[in-house]
Amino acid sequence: MSSAKVEQPTARGSLLTSIKTCLASLGLNHDKLLTEHAACTHHEDLESDENIGDAVKTRTPSPITETIAPGRLRSLFPPNNYGAVVPGAVYRSSYPHEKNFDFLESLKLKTIITLVPEDIPSEYSDFMKRAGIQHFQVHINANKGAVRVQSCDINRALNIVLDRSNHPILIHCNKGKHRTGCLVASLRRLQGTDIETVRHEYHVYSDPKARFWDEVFFEQFDLNTVMWHARKEDWVAPTVEGAPLSPPPSPVSSLYVPKPET
């Protein structure tokens, strides 16, 4: 008697099933594109056979040499994971250290927003006071094992970033990966950036520590909660999707009754 060979599920197939089960258990919409993306891309919070190792590390910018006087140079050190979200207006990074202060001062920042709850080191607080930088601290939860970011917290942080009177502004958490990544991704969606580009930018700054639950959050985040402020500050066009290109004919004309001839 010949025994039938039972085909074992592939690692990718098991991962797809696991992702779908997780989303369903949380009552979240099953997004086919997000599920496929998660199964094909490394995330630290999903089981994977892929061994990333230390091949990809946190982005460490090279020091910048600035001339401050003839014959005299100084090196400026950007924080790790530094990047310009909107050049001249919105920047992102990991938690700045004392060696980064000269670089931050060169950006002529008006505002810094910190997304972690720990007390601000005295040297950092003193630097911001000295440079005339206003500081906001909004605690954003980490999406570890589930979506834990509260929409109200992202709303508060987004409203600070959307306010152009706060620019130039620096956004940072500890590593500049997850909390900062969720906030920037939400801003990108408000700008109308396509979701594949939003995901790619998130991975540029978070790999090899990208988190699937971060992506679930910023793809499901309800933009309508901050849309009024975004339009007021000219981040999005003040139009309504599906609105007619021109006003419809006035119904008054159909009610016109000619006067009887005398």
Residue 182 a catalytic site member: no
C-alpha gyration radius of the chain: 25
Residue carrying structure tokens 């152009």: 164
Question: SS3 for 200?
Answer: helix
Q: For the chain, where are the alpha helices, taking DSSP H only?
A: 11-25, 32-40, 101-106, 122-131, 151-162, 179-190, 195-206, 212-220, 227-232
Residue among 150, 84, 147, 83 at smallest CA distance from 115: 150
* Beta-bridge mates of residue 83: 92
Across 169-182, b (16+ Cβ under 10 Å) vs e yields: bbbbbebbbbbbbb
Catalytically annotated residue among 22, 40, 152, 173 = 173
Residue 217's SS3 state is helix
Distance CA 175, CA 82 (A): 10
Which of these, 155, 164, 163, lies nearest to 182 by C-alpha position? Answer: 155
Quote the tokens at residue 125.
Answer: 């607080």
Apex 147 CA angle, 146 and 151, nearest 5 = 165
Task: Please give the positions annotated as active site.
Answer: 173
